[in-house]
Chains A and B, each alone.
Chain A
Amino acid sequence: MVIPWVGIPLASILKKFDPNSKAKYVNFKTLHDPSRMPGQKRRILNWPYEEGLTIAEAMHPLSLMAVGVYGYELPNQNGAPMRLVVPWKYGFKSIKAIAEINFTSRRPRSSWEQAISSEYGFYANVNPEVAHPRWSQARERVIGAGVFAGKKPTEMFNGYGDEVASLYAGLDLRKNY
């Protein structure tokens, strides 16, 4: 991870609610308040912003509920008061300004999936071999590296393959992008 998030494992929060065996997925919703979040005034996505994880992903020790960054409280634009950080997935999975969390038996449809399911899937695991339909994701530039830094090859699962690949055993990651 490049960014020093401050937070606690998501699992430690979820376990307090004793999810039963029907809790196959976890669904998150962002605060919907166009007066304080003016970007929500136009219906670009189906507000409130929604994201989801499988219960196994949500309980994984790498899934973080962040409340700060670089040693400070989260700035509003970075998702205050608390946001998800799922480091092996593309950024849009790490939902910000969380206002609601639900356990569900059915797979949630995230906002980007609702908008363009051909381009943004439920899993959104970092995968250099599966290109977004309109751009390659095989190379990336490290955040904060500046204008003159080159790109480096993207790592499978953003470099967390040893920790998380087992979550997707037997799953066709090309289909389940």
Chain B
Amino acid sequence: MKPGSTAFYRLTKPVVFLLALAPLAILLLRAFELAGFGLGANPIEELLHVLGRWGLKFLLLTLAITPIRRWAGWNWLLRFRRMLGLFSFFYIFLHFTVYAVLDQGLNMAVIIEDVIKRPYITLGVTGFLLLIPLAITSTKGMMRRLGRRWQKLHRLVYLAAIVGIWHFYWQVKLDTLDATFYAAILLALLGSRIYYRR
């Protein structure tokens, strides 16, 4: 079975799908304190951090498809890109939902104040809003309907990734090692695109 074949895709797609859901499954075990799992002393903060990181990890994975495809010649990777991108949106949507519903109890005055007054939250919400049109236009029908404009629109993902990782960096209290690591990967992925353009 060759990696590019439809049979290969049919087999691997559900595996990748389930793997991408694993972080959520573990988080649910932790949230409901099942099987000895737990979220620690500050459960909401832990939920937010884990969901946000997975959102960014899937975003970086999505952006890694094209460079790896070029570098290794694995064109079949392209078939997984949409699913990974949608999982990024899924985790970031959950991250935002936990913030708005569980953390702030849908208190709109507090949320609006946060978005206006706290730069790292302004960035985070901006990144989330940028991803919404991309998720909506991710279907085959939308791709067909938008034609050339689809590709242009989906370049917003670069901006969303920059804003998202910036949000992570500004949120950290002091130890910026992790956020710097995410930023370095993003820089490498964007840099490879500039390199291949020449």
Top 5 closest pairs, chain A to chain B, by CB: A150-B105, A44-B175, A147-B43, A147-B31, A115-B174
Known A139-B110, A150-B105: A45·B174 in contact at CB below 8 Å: yes
Question: Within the complex, what minimum Cβ distance (angstroms) separates A12 from chain B?
Answer: 29
The answer on a CB contact under 8 Å between A134 and B170 is: yes
Please report the C-alpha to C-alpha distance between residue A116 and residue B117 in the assembled complex, in whole angstroms.
20
User: Chain B contacts of A116 at CB under 8 A?
Assistant: 174
Q: Which of A143, A147, A150 contacts B39 (CB 8 A)?
A: A147
Please report the C-alpha to C-alpha distance between residue A116 and residue B77 in the assembled complex, in whole angstroms.
45
Please report the C-alpha to C-alpha distance between residue A41 and residue B41 in the assembled complex, in whole angstroms.
24
User: Chain B contacts of A146 at CB under 8 A?
Assistant: 43
B47 within 8 A of A: yes
Smallest CB-CB separation from B31: which chain A residue? A147
The answer on a CB contact under 8 Å between A134 and B174 is: no
Interface of A (DSSP majority class): loop
A107 within 8 A of B: no
B44 within 8 A of A: yes
The answer on a CB contact under 8 Å between B44 and A141 is: yes
B118 within 8 A of A: yes
A151 within 8 A of B: yes
- A139-161 interface mask toward B, CB cutoff 8 Å, 1 = contact, 0 = none? 10101101110110000000000
The answer on a CB contact under 8 Å between A147 and B174 is: no
Question: Within the complex, what minimum Cβ distance (angstroms) separates B82 from chain A?
Answer: 32
Measuring CB to CB, which residues of chain B are less than 8 angstroms from any residue of chain A? 31, 39, 41-44, 47, 102-105, 110, 113-114, 117-120, 170-171, 174-175, 177
User: Chain B contacts of A147 at CB under 8 A?
Assistant: 31, 39, 43-44, 47, 102
User: Chain A contacts of B104 at CB under 8 A?
Assistant: 151
The answer on a CB contact under 8 Å between B31 and A136 is: no
Question: Within the complex, what minimum Cβ distance (angstroms) separates B4 from chain A?
Answer: 44
User: Chain A contacts of B103 at CB under 8 A?
Assistant: 151
Please report the C-alpha to C-alpha distance between residue A143 and residue B41 in the assembled complex, in whole angstroms.
7
Please report the C-alpha to C-alpha distance between residue A106 and residue B113 in the assembled complex, in whole angstroms.
39
Please report the C-alpha to C-alpha distance between residue A42 and residue B174 in the assembled complex, in whole angstroms.
12
Question: Within the complex, what minimum Cβ distance (angstroms) separates A40 from chain B?
Answer: 12
Q: Which of A42, A134, A139 contacts B118 (CB 8 A)?
A: A134
Question: Within the complex, what minimum Cβ distance (angstroms) separates B42 from chain A?
Answer: 8
The answer on a CB contact under 8 Å between B113 and A136 is: yes
User: Chain B contacts of A44 at CB under 8 A?
Assistant: 174-175
Please report the C-alpha to C-alpha distance between residue A27 and residue B102 in the assembled complex, in whole angstroms.
39
Please report the C-alpha to C-alpha distance between residue A150 and residue B103 in the assembled complex, in whole angstroms.
7
Smallest CB-CB separation from B45: which chain A residue? A141
Question: Within the complex, what minimum Cβ distance (angstroms) separates B132 from chain A?
Answer: 25
User: Chain A contacts of B170 at CB under 8 A?
Assistant: 134
- A112-146 interface mask toward B, CB cutoff 8 Å, 1 = contact, 0 = none? 00011000000000000000001110010101101
Residue of A42, A136, A144, A147 with highest tally of chain B CB at under 10 A: A147
Known A143-B41, A146-B43, A147-B31: A136·B174 in contact at CB below 8 Å: no
Please report the C-alpha to C-alpha distance between residue A116 and residue B119 in the assembled complex, in whole angstroms.
18
The answer on a CB contact under 8 Å between A134 and B41 is: no
User: Chain A contacts of B44 at CB under 8 A?
Assistant: 141, 147
Known A143-B41, A147-B43: A135·B175 in contact at CB below 8 Å: no
Q: Which of A115, A136, A143, A148 contacts B102 (CB 8 A)?
A: A148
Please report the C-alpha to C-alpha distance between residue A146 and residue B41 in the assembled complex, in whole angstroms.
9
Question: Within the complex, what minimum Cβ distance (angstroms) separates B190 from chain A?
Answer: 27
**Beyond known contacts A136-B110, A144-B41, A147-B47: 20 more, CB 8 A cutoff:** A42-B175, A44-B174, A44-B175, A45-B174, A115-B174, A116-B174, A134-B119, A134-B120, A134-B170, A136-B113, A136-B114, A136-B117, A141-B44, A143-B41, A147-B31, A147-B43, A148-B102, A150-B105, A151-B104, A151-B105
